[in-house]
Amino acid sequence: MVRRAQRVSELLRQELSSIFQRLRDPRLRAIISITRIQTSDDLSHAKVYISILGSQKQKTEAADCLSAASGYIRKELREVISLRRIPALSFSIDESMEKAEAIQRMMDDFPAEK
């Protein structure tokens, strides 16, 4: 069952990327990328981790907008994916890229040993 959840997660990732490009909401003016999707084993729920390039305010607005539009997004998914049940979507901001960048800056600032 885990293998099926992985395949569905990858399919959701592809289709959600396409849907995000078509969304026309002023709150989604930041660049949004999907970093990963965790789908439950029974395929009833999918947690979508997104990375948003922009200020903290833009990140919050974009995440709120996607959460509010989850019903519309599920409807769009239903039209392009042939699954018995489209998972309920929840969106979470993935800040691992920012953390990795901060660590890299700290390493760059650290003096090299001689």
Which CATH homologous superfamily contains domain 2-109? K homology (KH) domain (3.30.300.20)
Residue-by-residue DSSP string for 26-60: GGG-SEEEEEEEEE-TTSSEEEEEEEEES-HHHHH
- In the numeric block, which tokens belong to residue 39? 């789908």
Mean pLDDT is lowest, of 46-55, 76-85, 96-105, for 96-105
- Confidence band (pLDDT; 50, 70, 90) for 112? low
Q: What's the pLDDT tens digit per position in 25-66?
A: 887 877 888 999 999 989 899 999 998 888 888 888 888 999
pLDDT of residue 105: 86
At residue 114, does pLDDT exceed 80? no
Q: How far is CA 4 from CA 8, 41, 43, in A?
A: 6, 8, 9
User: Minimal CA–CA distance to 86: which of 72, 102, 75, 99?
Assistant: 75
